[in-house]
Amino acid sequence: MNILVHACCAPCAAYCLEKLVNDGYKPTAYFYNPNIHPVEEYNRRLAELERFAKEAGYPLVVEKHARDDSSSKNQPTEGLSCSRLEPVELGEWRRNDNPLGKQWFTAIKGLENEPEGGKRCAVCFEMRLEKATIYAKENGFDAFTTVLTISPHKNSRIIHDIGQKLGEKHGISFLAEDFKKQDGFKKSLELSKKYGFYRQNYCGCAYSMR
Protein backbone atom coordinates (compact mmCIF):
# COMPACT_ATOMS: atom_id res chain seq x y z
CA MET A 1 0.00 0.00 0.00
CA ASN A 2 1.38 3.39 -1.00
CA ILE A 3 1.06 5.84 1.87
CA LEU A 4 1.89 9.55 2.09
CA VAL A 5 3.53 10.45 5.39
CA HIS A 6 3.42 14.04 6.59
CA ALA A 7 6.85 14.63 8.13
CA CYS A 8 7.91 17.59 10.25
CA CYS A 9 11.60 16.73 10.62
CA ALA A 10 14.13 13.93 10.23
CA PRO A 11 14.30 12.91 13.93
CA CYS A 12 10.54 12.30 14.01
CA ALA A 13 10.33 10.77 10.54
CA ALA A 14 13.12 8.19 10.73
CA TYR A 15 11.46 5.65 13.02
CA CYS A 16 7.97 6.22 11.61
CA LEU A 17 9.07 5.51 8.04
CA GLU A 18 11.05 2.47 9.15
CA LYS A 19 8.06 1.08 11.04
CA LEU A 20 5.73 1.61 8.10
CA VAL A 21 8.09 -0.30 5.81
CA ASN A 22 8.28 -3.13 8.34
CA ASP A 23 4.47 -3.15 8.47
CA GLY A 24 4.27 -3.62 4.70
CA TYR A 25 3.67 -0.06 3.51
CA LYS A 26 5.49 1.89 0.80
CA PRO A 27 5.91 5.34 2.39
CA THR A 28 6.62 8.66 0.73
CA ALA A 29 7.57 11.51 3.06
CA TYR A 30 5.80 14.84 2.56
CA PHE A 31 7.11 18.13 3.98
CA TYR A 32 4.73 21.02 4.54
CA ASN A 33 5.34 22.87 7.80
CA PRO A 34 4.64 26.62 7.59
CA ASN A 35 4.70 26.83 11.38
CA ILE A 36 8.48 26.43 11.61
CA HIS A 37 10.11 29.72 12.63
CA PRO A 38 12.45 31.39 11.77
CA VAL A 39 13.48 30.60 8.20
CA GLU A 40 16.94 29.44 9.31
CA GLU A 41 15.30 26.76 11.44
CA TYR A 42 12.93 25.86 8.60
CA ASN A 43 15.85 25.40 6.21
CA ARG A 44 17.84 23.39 8.73
CA ARG A 45 15.03 20.93 9.42
CA LEU A 46 14.28 20.54 5.73
CA ALA A 47 17.96 19.96 4.94
CA GLU A 48 18.19 17.22 7.56
CA LEU A 49 15.07 15.52 6.21
CA GLU A 50 16.40 15.72 2.64
CA ARG A 51 19.73 14.24 3.76
CA PHE A 52 18.02 11.40 5.59
CA ALA A 53 15.66 10.63 2.71
CA LYS A 54 18.60 10.35 0.32
CA GLU A 55 20.68 8.21 2.68
CA ALA A 56 17.82 5.87 3.60
CA GLY A 57 16.25 5.77 0.13
CA TYR A 58 12.83 7.23 0.92
CA PRO A 59 10.92 9.33 -1.65
CA LEU A 60 10.40 12.89 -0.40
CA VAL A 61 7.97 15.52 -1.65
CA VAL A 62 8.41 19.12 -0.51
CA GLU A 63 5.51 21.54 -0.84
CA LYS A 64 6.64 24.58 -2.80
CA HIS A 65 6.37 27.85 -0.85
CA ALA A 66 4.27 30.72 -2.14
CA ARG A 67 5.38 34.32 -2.61
CA ASP A 68 1.89 35.50 -1.78
CA ASP A 69 -1.61 34.09 -1.53
CA SER A 70 -2.63 35.25 -5.02
CA SER A 71 0.34 33.89 -6.99
CA SER A 72 0.63 30.57 -5.18
CA LYS A 73 -0.26 27.44 -7.07
CA ASN A 74 0.89 25.35 -4.11
CA GLN A 75 2.33 22.77 -6.45
CA PRO A 76 4.71 20.38 -4.68
CA THR A 77 8.11 19.52 -6.06
CA GLU A 78 10.40 16.64 -5.25
CA GLY A 79 13.75 17.34 -3.65
CA LEU A 80 13.33 21.10 -3.24
CA SER A 81 16.72 22.64 -2.55
CA CYS A 82 17.09 24.84 0.50
CA SER A 83 18.85 27.40 -1.70
CA ARG A 84 15.48 28.12 -3.34
CA LEU A 85 13.90 29.12 -0.05
CA GLU A 86 15.08 32.73 -0.03
CA PRO A 87 13.17 35.07 2.29
CA VAL A 88 10.58 37.14 0.44
CA GLU A 89 8.99 40.51 1.08
CA LEU A 90 5.73 39.98 2.94
CA GLY A 91 4.71 43.43 4.03
CA GLU A 92 5.04 43.67 7.79
CA TRP A 93 6.80 40.30 8.07
CA ARG A 94 10.50 40.42 8.79
CA ARG A 95 12.80 39.15 6.05
CA ASN A 96 14.06 36.30 8.23
CA ASP A 97 10.59 34.77 8.52
CA ASN A 98 9.69 31.44 6.97
CA PRO A 99 8.35 32.22 3.45
CA LEU A 100 5.23 30.25 4.33
CA GLY A 101 4.85 32.00 7.67
CA LYS A 102 2.31 34.57 6.55
CA GLN A 103 -0.21 31.83 5.80
CA TRP A 104 0.38 30.18 9.17
CA PHE A 105 0.23 33.37 11.26
CA THR A 106 -3.02 34.28 9.50
CA ALA A 107 -4.51 30.87 10.31
CA ILE A 108 -3.73 31.06 14.03
CA LYS A 109 -4.58 34.74 14.53
CA GLY A 110 -6.30 35.24 17.88
CA LEU A 111 -4.79 32.05 19.32
CA GLU A 112 -1.33 33.41 20.05
CA ASN A 113 -1.71 33.07 23.83
CA GLU A 114 -3.11 29.56 23.79
CA PRO A 115 -1.00 27.06 25.76
CA GLU A 116 0.99 24.36 23.99
CA GLY A 117 -1.38 21.54 23.10
CA GLY A 118 -4.38 23.89 22.95
CA LYS A 119 -6.53 25.32 20.17
CA ARG A 120 -3.61 26.89 18.29
CA CYS A 121 -1.92 23.51 17.94
CA ALA A 122 -5.13 21.90 16.69
CA VAL A 123 -5.46 24.58 13.99
CA CYS A 124 -1.80 24.05 13.08
CA PHE A 125 -2.24 20.27 12.82
CA GLU A 126 -5.28 20.65 10.61
CA MET A 127 -3.63 23.20 8.32
CA ARG A 128 -0.66 20.93 7.67
CA LEU A 129 -2.58 17.67 7.45
CA GLU A 130 -5.12 19.06 5.01
CA LYS A 131 -2.33 19.85 2.55
CA ALA A 132 -1.08 16.28 2.92
CA THR A 133 -4.59 14.88 2.50
CA ILE A 134 -5.18 16.77 -0.72
CA TYR A 135 -1.79 15.82 -2.15
CA ALA A 136 -2.31 12.16 -1.28
CA LYS A 137 -5.75 12.12 -2.89
CA GLU A 138 -4.67 13.95 -6.05
CA ASN A 139 -1.60 11.78 -6.56
CA GLY A 140 -3.10 8.34 -6.18
CA PHE A 141 -1.94 7.31 -2.72
CA ASP A 142 -3.94 4.65 -0.90
CA ALA A 143 -3.74 6.42 2.45
CA PHE A 144 -1.97 9.13 4.43
CA THR A 145 -0.67 9.56 7.96
CA THR A 146 1.63 11.82 9.99
CA VAL A 147 4.72 11.42 12.15
CA LEU A 148 3.41 13.99 14.65
CA THR A 149 2.12 11.28 16.99
CA ILE A 150 5.65 10.15 17.84
CA SER A 151 6.10 13.16 20.11
CA PRO A 152 5.36 12.51 23.80
CA HIS A 153 4.23 16.15 23.97
CA LYS A 154 1.43 15.78 21.41
CA ASN A 155 -2.04 14.36 21.97
CA SER A 156 -2.41 11.53 19.47
CA ARG A 157 -6.19 11.41 19.87
CA ILE A 158 -6.54 15.01 18.68
CA ILE A 159 -4.26 14.34 15.71
CA HIS A 160 -6.16 11.16 14.83
CA ASP A 161 -9.53 12.92 15.04
CA ILE A 162 -8.29 15.61 12.64
CA GLY A 163 -6.82 13.04 10.27
CA GLN A 164 -9.99 10.96 10.22
CA LYS A 165 -12.12 14.05 9.56
CA LEU A 166 -9.90 15.18 6.70
CA GLY A 167 -9.79 11.70 5.23
CA GLU A 168 -13.58 11.53 5.16
CA LYS A 169 -13.78 15.05 3.71
CA HIS A 170 -11.44 14.29 0.82
CA GLY A 171 -12.23 10.62 0.30
CA ILE A 172 -8.99 8.93 1.32
CA SER A 173 -8.03 6.64 4.19
CA PHE A 174 -6.15 7.99 7.19
CA LEU A 175 -3.86 5.60 9.07
CA ALA A 176 -4.37 6.40 12.76
CA GLU A 177 -0.97 5.20 13.94
CA ASP A 178 0.31 6.22 17.37
CA PHE A 179 4.03 6.07 16.67
CA LYS A 180 5.08 6.80 20.24
CA LYS A 181 3.76 3.40 21.36
CA GLN A 182 6.04 0.37 21.71
CA ASP A 183 8.96 2.64 22.63
CA GLY A 184 8.64 4.52 19.35
CA PHE A 185 10.01 7.76 20.74
CA LYS A 186 12.96 5.95 22.33
CA LYS A 187 13.71 4.24 19.02
CA SER A 188 13.57 7.60 17.26
CA LEU A 189 16.28 8.86 19.62
CA GLU A 190 18.44 5.86 18.76
CA LEU A 191 18.03 6.49 15.03
CA SER A 192 18.82 10.18 15.54
CA LYS A 193 22.11 9.16 17.12
CA LYS A 194 22.82 6.69 14.31
CA TYR A 195 22.32 9.31 11.59
CA GLY A 196 23.77 12.22 13.55
CA PHE A 197 20.61 14.29 13.24
CA TYR A 198 20.26 17.84 14.43
CA ARG A 199 17.55 17.64 17.11
CA GLN A 200 15.62 20.82 17.78
CA ASN A 201 14.50 21.76 21.30
CA TYR A 202 11.11 23.26 20.41
CA CYS A 203 8.16 22.17 18.28
CA GLY A 204 8.64 24.76 15.58
CA CYS A 205 6.42 27.83 15.90
CA ALA A 206 7.45 31.13 17.42
CA TYR A 207 5.15 30.56 20.40
CA SER A 208 6.63 27.17 21.28
CA MET A 209 9.98 28.93 21.75
CA ARG A 210 8.67 30.80 24.82
CATH number of the domain enclosing 97: 3.40.50.620
Bridge partner list, 27: 3
Residue 126's pLDDT is: 95
Residue 209's pLDDT is: 61
Chain segment 191-210, per-residue pLDDT in tens: 999 999 987 776 767 666 65
Residue 203's pLDDT is: 73
Greatest CA span in the chain, whole angstroms?
A: 47
* Nearest CA-CA partner of 208 in 8, 55, 3: 8
The strand pair at 76-78 and 60-63 is best described as antiparallel
Q: Which of 19-23, 42-46, 155-159, 182-186 has the lowest mean pLDDT?
A: 42-46
When divided into structural domains, the chain yields a total of 1
The residue type at 37: H
Mean pLDDT of 6-10: 96
Average pLDDT, the chain: 82
Chain segment 92-109, per-residue pLDDT in tens: 333 345 566 777 778 878
Give the chain's length: 210
Chain segment 56-101, per-residue pLDDT in tens: 999 999 987 533 333 333 333 333 333 233 333 333 333 345 566 7
Domain that holds residue 130: 2-209
d(CA 115, CA 60): 32
d(CA 112, CA 171): 32
